[in-house]
Structure 1
Amino acid sequence: MTHYEWLLFDLDGTLSDPAEGFINCMNHALEFHDFAPRPADELTPHIGPPLEQTMAQLSGSSDEVLIRSMVNKYRERYGETGYVENTLYPGVAEMLENLCSNDSVRLGVCTSKRADFAGRILEQFNLRHYFEFVSGGDVGIAKWQQLEKLLAEECISTQALMIGDRHFDLTAAHKNHLHSAGVLWGYGSPQELQEHHPTYLFSSPAEICQQF
């Protein structure tokens, strides 16, 4: 078994379920810009990718000014109430506590969500102390670039495993020559994850503990 110095976790769809806040904030942004609100089943597949990609798809526009305005309006509500509308997946807190008892592994978060929002969510669930850092994204920054920066600044080593629920997490790892793991309790389908050849595929947080 490969030894990993670092386990890097995605946040949305991996540690916590953001669906309620995501849907409410997305519709807040859409309606403010005179677009019709969307039902939950149309919005939840967009959980995971950077917001600007989602806004471009939902609006059907490539206008950078409009996209930035929509992202800002989303974040306006998210910063006020949206981040609270998160639920922790069962078993996550226990998983992190068990992993932290292993002195040979270190934990970090790498999320497309803005770092301050991610930090608030982790604090809300009393999880922040488990992680040595929280790497957050912003408009125009892809997750693979976040990992590239973490490696370049020697915040992590090449013995890192990226763990997430969407193919973006897996491809970001592979682009940086890192191993990846998919989780099946989030928003990526088994087919989506398997197509990108993760080193591991976990069906529960407890399985991660058993592996490491």
Structure 2
Amino acid sequence: MILVMFDMDGTLIDTQALITEHMATTFESVGLEAPTPAESRRVIGLSLPVAMARLAKSDDSVLIETLVDTYKTHYRASLVADAGREGLFPGALEALQQLRQRDDVVMGIATGKGLHGVHRITGLHGIADYFVTLQTPDHNPSKPHPGMLETAIRETGAKADRTIMVGDTTFDIEMGVAAKCKTVGVTWGYHEPRELIAVGASTMIDRFDQLDGAIRQLVE
């Protein structure tokens, strides 16, 4: 069995503009200077408390909690208006469908999103039953800690050397390396391809139609 784990934001779904806008609104609403879009992109993939601490350059727990709660409030309030801004990247659905047809592959999610958000997004796109394991910061440490992958491996009975993490940030790749898994970096996400290679990506893909072939090569 091959376990293929997917990141969400920046890998499966294109939420860059939405997230960076809400980050800016969140900081401004509590009287802080808004992070730039580039700064916000650097923390996408981390759990919200860790991301907010990095952006605020603070370990003030009260401030961090306020930022997290404010961000969640803004995001949830915008869901109806922004429903069309959480789309799958081109080719994502077809790649998932192709992998789902393989007898030797099971799939899961490892994301900085909360579990509620994962259920909402997978339901929105009709892919909820594609994934046998959902790993989020609700019950795991934030990336790049290997906990999400280690939990998924335990839940599914997979082996680390036949587990593949697919992601767009250094956090995804570092998590995979720490869990002794293979990693596929994608070039369309929020961190530069050279950064993913530098932290140990097993291979890189430029399009989703390259994913199945990359997986086959990694487990040969």
Whether the TM-score (by the shorter chain) exceeds 0.5 is yes
Task: Using the TM superposition, give the Cα deviation of residue 197 of structure 1 relative to its aligned residue in structure 2, in angstroms.
Answer: 1.9
C-alpha distance in 2, partners of 1:139/1:69?
A: 21
Over 3 Å counting, the alpha-carbon distance change for 1:156 and 1:66 in structure 2 is farther
C-alpha distance in 2, partners of 1:28/1:171?
A: 30
Q: Secondary structure at the match of 1:132?
A: strand
Whether 2:17 is the aligned partner of 1:17: answer no
Q: Secondary structure at the match of 1:182?
A: strand
The question of whether the paired residues in 2 share the 8 Å contact of 1:56 and 1:67 is answered with yes
- What per-residue deviation string (whole Å, max 9, x for no partner) do you get for residues 164-201 of structure 1? 00111111111111111111111121110110122221
The amino acid that maps onto 2:175 is: A
Whether 2:164 is the aligned partner of 1:161: answer yes
Over 3 Å counting, the alpha-carbon distance change for 1:26 and 1:20 in structure 2 is same
Task: Using the TM superposition, give the Cα deviation of residue 155 of structure 1 relative to its aligned residue in structure 2, in angstroms.
Answer: 5.5
1:83-102 aligned at under 5 Å gives the runs 84=83, 85-102=85-102
**Residue number among 193, 209, 212 corresponding to 2:212 in the alignment:** 209
The question of whether the paired residues in 2 share the 8 Å contact of 1:110 and 1:146 is answered with yes
Q: Secondary structure at the match of 2:132?
A: coil
1:30-69 aligned at under 5 Å gives the runs 30-69=27-66
C-alpha distance in 2, partners of 1:163/1:150?
A: 14
- The aligned counterpart of 2:152 is 150
Q: TM-score, normalised by structure 2?
A: 0.86
Over the aligned positions, Cα root-mean-square deviation in angstroms equals 2.1
- The aligned counterpart of 2:118 is 118
C-alpha distance in 2, partners of 1:199/1:182?
A: 8
Q: TM-score, normalised by structure 1?
A: 0.89
The amino acid that maps onto 1:162 is: M
The question of whether the paired residues in 1 share the 8 Å contact of 2:8 and 2:111 is answered with yes
Aligned positions, number: 209
Could you tell me which runs of 5 or more consecutive residues in structure 2 were left unpaired when the two chains were aligned: none
**Higher mean displacement: 43-52 or 6-15:** 43-52
The question of whether the paired residues in 1 share the 8 Å contact of 2:13 and 2:88 is answered with yes
The amino acid that maps onto 2:147 is: Q
Q: Secondary structure at the match of 1:17?
A: coil
1:182-193 aligned at under 5 Å gives the runs 182-193=185-196
C-alpha distance in 1, partners of 2:18/2:111?
A: 16
**Residue number among 161, 177, 182 corresponding to 1:179 in the alignment:** 182
**Higher mean displacement: 153-162 or 93-102:** 153-162
The question of whether the paired residues in 1 share the 8 Å contact of 2:140 and 2:147 is answered with no
**Residue number among 170, 175, 179 corresponding to 2:173 in the alignment:** 170
Q: Secondary structure at the match of 1:23?
A: helix
Whether 2:78 is the aligned partner of 1:81: answer yes
- The aligned counterpart of 2:130 is 130
Percent identity, aligned pairs only? 27
C-alpha distance in 1, partners of 2:104/2:129?
A: 17
The amino acid that maps onto 1:43 is: S
The question of whether the paired residues in 2 share the 8 Å contact of 1:6 and 1:161 is answered with yes
The amino acid that maps onto 1:67 is: I
